[in-house]
Structure 1
Amino acid sequence: MGLLGILLGLGLLIWLAFRGWSILLLAPIAALIAALFSGEPLLAHWTQTFMASASQFVMQFFPIFLLGALFGKLMEDSGSVTTIANAMVAKLGERRAILAVVLAGALVTYGGVSLFVAFFVLAPMAIALFRAAGIPRRLMPAAIALGTSTFTMSALPGTPAIQNAIPMPFFGTTPFAAPGLGIVASAIMLAFGLWWLGRAGAKARRAGEGFGDEDANPVRVDDDLIRERATTAREFDPAEISKGKPSPKSPAVWAAALPLVVVILVNLLMSFVMLPRLDTAYLAEPAWGSTSIAAVGGVWSVIVALSAAILTLLAVSGHRLPTLRATIDAGANASVLPAFSVASLVGFGAVVAAVPAFALVRDWVLSIDGGPLVSLAFATNILSALTGSASGGLTIALDALGETYMKLAAEQGIDPALLHRVAVIGAGTLDSLPHNGAVVTLLAVCGSTHGKSYFDIVMVGIVGALIALAAVILLGSAFGSF
């Protein structure tokens, strides 16, 4: 009965979330169903298990949600994202329209700009560029997804994406975990995606297919269904996109790019130079949660990097913001619903992991052939697919199994950095199923549909990522972490 309760709760969560119901309400209901079928105390699980885990997630990661959303909104309203995208287009031109869109998206998201901010800035640029180049509109979502939602989210070393931050407290790693493997995975995702899009574009030209769908219009960004799905997928509430007022004058390219450079450099310095030199023995005291620098250092690095980038942006472009307070308010508000939505998914996972029937699930996952790396990749893949959220699925998997995998790593001599990279890349594969909020939002802002564009998103966002994941597991198993 306990296993049936888990399946019923999960099924209800997926079914109603896909229809736009708020995850804030669905997650505790689904958790209580799992507890009910297991004969567990309902109120105790809601207040002591669900809320304890959800609040722990907020405590650990809300600063990253907050600063990431704020930085993204400031970059948008200052005109910095548009300047960078336009510079990339001017450099590469219409003949390399697909590459221009992909690299523009990769540059801004690797520099810390929130995914949805990138969507809403890149989509109009991509429409104009693809129309001029005669490339079908239906390939736009895949091109934007390749640059914003694949290797810069899960593989490229040092990425400030929340997905790359989540494993750090569990494995005691940094944002640069397994950098060599991350670069290999990034190269595979990028190369495969560009090959596929180039092939699809050439095939369309031979068939005489042009841009098409000239009258297609993006869906409103405050659409409730899109908003509910989107806020479990990434760290920015799309309803806040229209708040604030964009700058009437764009910054110079150097001023637009400087905050992105600051994110990367400060993250690197914090991870490898500054934090290792600090005396952090005080963290072991109860007053500081009896923790260690290994558990919090990675999150601290991202927090300081984003804070430094925000200050840099305000210093070089703040005078261009016509409504600074409104922009800051919108950025801060945009972080709240996504953070609590993912935290609710984490609370659901904690209740499921606490019921006796979960032992069957755990034993089954750990018994998968191929060793800990394969079973970890499988667990993060499946949970991210079911929840439609890479961050939610990843946290649920590590909350339930992270300690177990650390023990297995110690027994088998596996570097925790390798676990980190496998887990993050695994979470960034099947999360891009049709119900994923980022996919739904991207199709909407591009004025396309699942029927026209989703297959190409699958190829660049799922197939390419799975190939990269397999390569990382094979290389990691043969040579260890590097």
Structure 2
Amino acid sequence: MGLIGILVGLGLLVALAFRGWSVLLLAPIAALIAAAFAGEPLLAHWTQTFMGSGARFIAQFFPLFLLGALFGKIMDDSGSVTSIAEFMTEKLGTRRAMLAVVLAGAFVTYGGVSLFVAFFVLAPMGIALFRQAGIPRRLMPAAIALGTSTFTMSALPGTPSIQNAIPMPFFGTTPFAAPGLGILASVIMLAFGLWWLGRAEGRARLAGEGFGPADATAPVDAAAEDPIVRERATTAHEFDPAEIHNGVHAYTKPSFGLAALPLVVVVVVNLLMSLVILPQMDVSFLAEPRWGGTTLSAVGGVWSVVVALTAAILVALAINWRRLPGLRATLDAGANASVLPVFSVASLVGFGAVVAALPAFELVREWVLGIEGGPLVSLAIATNVLAALTGSASGGLTIALDALGPTYMKLAAEIGLDPALLHRVAVIGSGTLDSLPHNGAVVTLLAVCGTTHRESYLDIVMVGIVGAIVALVAVILLGSFVGSF
């Protein structure tokens, strides 16, 4: 009965979340249903297991949600993201419109800008560029997804994405875990995605397919105000789309150099904190009970990203101080944009904690660990499946590591496996099947581009799922034979 309860609770969560129900309500209800089938105490699971796990997630990662949303909003309202996108399109031109959209998205998201902010800036610009180049509108969501939601989210070493941060406390790693394998995976994802998009564009031109209706525009305002889009989106990433048009946008834009400087600061400061500054600091005080009796390996990765985003925010404010006419409104919108996402993902994590605490979950644990191919394969499958079911890379990844992280660390110590390799496999694994049709980022992207699943989803699958799986397989094979590098 316990296993049936887990399946019923999970089925309810997936089905109603896809229809736009709030995860804040669904997750505790689904968790209590699973506990009831197992004959477990309901109130204890809700107040102790569910809330305890969700609270720990918020305590660990809310600074990253808050700073990431703030940084994205400042970069948006100051016109910096627009300036970078315009520079890319101007330099590459309409002949390389597809590449311009991909690289613009990759540049801003690797620099720490929320992909939802990138969606709302890139979609209108992409429509103008694709129309001028005669490229079908239906290919635009896949081009934006390739640049914003694939290798810069899960593979590039040092990316400040929340997905790359989640494994750090579990494995004691840094944002630059397994850099060589991360770069290799990034190259595979980018090359495969560009090949597919180029092929699709070529076939469309041969068929005489143009952009589409000349008066078509991206309904970004409607997407930002759509409650169903909002509910799905807030479980996917760290920015609430409802806040995208709050705040006051600048009347002028900074130059490309000034606009890009905060993004460079994120990468450089993150690198220095991870590899130079923190390793040299005396943090023995962390072992004291008042600091939770923790270690630098457990908190250092999060600290690095926090400092990097804080430094970038200060630089962005210094550059655009006179350019932000409503600074308080911008900061308020950025802060507010972080709240619903972190609580939504924390609720998913709480649901996972209740499931993992049920006696029947031992069957699931044994099945996962018994998958042939070793711990890297079983970890990849676990994160893939959970991210797919929840429609959230961050939620699925946290659930998997909460339930199985200590077991994988024990296995790694026994067989001499570098935790950095576990980190990279887990993150890339969470960023594959999370892009199923109910994923919040997919729903939001289609909405802002004004296309449908029927028109654009196959291309999203190819660049966002198939390419990522090819890269994941390559990382697992190479990591199994030569280890982490």
Q: TM-score normalised to the size of structure 1?
A: 1.00
Q: Is the Cα contact below 8 Å between 1:53 and 1:347 reproduced in 2?
A: yes
* 1:171-186 matched pairs, under 5 angstroms: 171-186=171-186
Which string of whole-angstrom CA distances, capped at 9 and with x for unpartnered residues, describes residues 394-431 of structure 1?
00000000000000001111100000000000000000
| 1:50 equivalent in structure 2 | 50
Supply the distance in 1 between the matched residues of 2:230 and 2:407 (Cα, whole angstroms). 35
| 1:464 equivalent in structure 2 | 467
Gaps of 5+ in 2: none
Supply the distance in 1 between the matched residues of 2:318 and 2:443 (Cα, whole angstroms). 36
| 1:72 equivalent in structure 2 | 72
Supply the distance in 1 between the matched residues of 2:137 and 2:116 (Cα, whole angstroms). 19
| 1:396 equivalent in structure 2 | 399
* AA aligned opposite 1:61: F
Which string of whole-angstrom CA distances, capped at 9 and with x for unpartnered residues, describes residues 7-41 of structure 1?
00000000000011000010000000111011110
Supply the distance in 2 between the matched residues of 1:209 and 1:9 (Cα, whole angstroms). 45
In the alignment, does 2:428 pair up with 1:435?
A: no
* AA aligned opposite 1:186: S
Q: Is the Cα contact below 8 Å between 1:216 and 1:448 reproduced in 2?
A: no
| 2:127 equivalent in structure 1 | 127
In the alignment, does 2:299 pair up with 1:296?
A: yes
Supply the distance in 2 between the matched residues of 1:111 and 1:86 (Cα, whole angstroms). 17
| 2:285 equivalent in structure 1 | 282
* 1:111-260 matched pairs, under 5 angstroms: 111-217=111-217, 218=219, 219-260=222-263
| 1:323 equivalent in structure 2 | 326
* AA aligned opposite 1:461: G
* AA aligned opposite 2:403: A
The percentage of counterpart residues that share the same residue type is: 79
* 1:356-367 matched pairs, under 5 angstroms: 356-367=359-370
Supply the distance in 2 between the matched residues of 1:216 and 1:164 (Cα, whole angstroms). 37
Matched positions, count: 482
Q: Secondary structure at the match of 1:84?
A: helix
Q: CA deviation at 1:216?
A: 3.9
In the alignment, does 2:364 pair up with 1:348?
A: no
Which one of 350, 368, 372 corresponds to residue 371 of structure 2?
368
Q: Is the Cα contact below 8 Å between 1:163 and 1:390 reproduced in 2?
A: yes
* AA aligned opposite 1:245: V
Supply the distance in 2 between the matched residues of 1:253 and 1:368 (Cα, whole angstroms). 49
Q: Is the Cα contact below 8 Å between 1:236 and 1:338 reproduced in 2?
A: yes
| 1:412 equivalent in structure 2 | 415
Q: Is the Cα contact below 8 Å between 1:76 and 1:82 reproduced in 2?
A: yes
Q: Secondary structure at the match of 2:376?
A: helix
Q: Secondary structure at the match of 1:39?
A: coil
Supply the distance in 2 between the matched residues of 1:411 and 1:41 (Cα, whole angstroms). 36
| 1:87 equivalent in structure 2 | 87
Supply the distance in 2 between the matched residues of 1:188 and 1:125 (Cα, whole angstroms). 27
| 1:15 equivalent in structure 2 | 15
Supply the distance in 2 between the matched residues of 1:460 and 1:466 (Cα, whole angstroms). 10
Q: Is the Cα contact below 8 Å between 1:53 and 1:350 reproduced in 2?
A: yes
Supply the distance in 1 between the matched residues of 2:168 and 2:187 (Cα, whole angstroms). 23
* AA aligned opposite 2:40: E
Q: Is the Cα contact below 8 Å between 1:110 and 1:152 reproduced in 2?
A: yes
Q: Is the Cα contact below 8 Å between 1:168 and 1:295 reproduced in 2?
A: yes
In the alignment, does 2:332 pair up with 1:335?
A: no
| 2:458 equivalent in structure 1 | 455
* AA aligned opposite 1:20: G
Which string of whole-angstrom CA distances, capped at 9 and with x for unpartnered residues, describes residues 315-349 of structure 1?
11121001000000000000000000000000000
Q: CA deviation at 1:220?
A: 3.2
Gaps of 5+ in 1: none
Q: CA deviation at 1:215?
A: 4.1
Q: CA deviation at 1:51?
A: 0.3
| 1:99 equivalent in structure 2 | 99
Q: CA RMSD in A?
A: 0.6
* AA aligned opposite 2:253: S
Which one of 451, 474, 477 corresponds to residue 477 of structure 2?
474
* AA aligned opposite 1:249: T
| 2:274 equivalent in structure 1 | 271
Deviating beyond 3 angstroms after TM superposition, the runs of 4 or more aligned structure 1 residues are 213-217
Supply the distance in 1 between the matched residues of 2:384 and 2:349 (Cα, whole angstroms). 16
Q: TM-score normalised to the size of structure 2?
A: 0.99
Q: CA deviation at 1:252?
A: 1.1
Which string of whole-angstrom CA distances, capped at 9 and with x for unpartnered residues, describes residues 202-239 of structure 1?
00000000001334442431100000000000100000
Q: Is the Cα contact below 8 Å between 1:137 and 1:213 reproduced in 2?
A: no
Which one of 379, 383, 388 corresponds to residue 386 of structure 2?
383
Supply the distance in 2 between the matched residues of 1:450 and 1:354 (Cα, whole angstroms). 37
Supply the distance in 1 between the matched residues of 2:319 and 2:352 (Cα, whole angstroms). 43
Supply the distance in 2 between the matched residues of 1:143 and 1:175 (Cα, whole angstroms). 26
Supply the distance in 1 between the matched residues of 2:355 and 2:458 (Cα, whole angstroms). 33
Which string of whole-angstrom CA distances, capped at 9 and with x for unpartnered residues, describes residues 112-143 of structure 1?
00010000000011000000000000000000
Q: CA deviation at 1:61?
A: 0.1
Supply the distance in 2 between the matched residues of 1:201 and 1:213 (Cα, whole angstroms). 17
Q: Secondary structure at the match of 2:437?
A: coil
Q: Is the Cα contact below 8 Å between 1:192 and 1:460 reproduced in 2?
A: yes
* AA aligned opposite 2:235: T
Q: Is the Cα contact below 8 Å between 2:223 and 2:444 reproduced in 1?
A: no
Q: Is the Cα contact below 8 Å between 1:53 and 1:346 reproduced in 2?
A: yes
Supply the distance in 2 between the matched residues of 1:439 and 1:214 (Cα, whole angstroms). 24
Supply the distance in 2 between the matched residues of 1:422 and 1:216 (Cα, whole angstroms). 41
Supply the distance in 2 between the matched residues of 1:427 and 1:158 (Cα, whole angstroms). 17
Tell which deviates more after alignment, 205-214 or 342-351: 205-214
Which string of whole-angstrom CA distances, capped at 9 and with x for unpartnered residues, describes residues 341-365 of structure 1?
0000000000000000000000000
Q: CA deviation at 1:253?
A: 1.1
In the alignment, does 2:28 pair up with 1:28?
A: yes
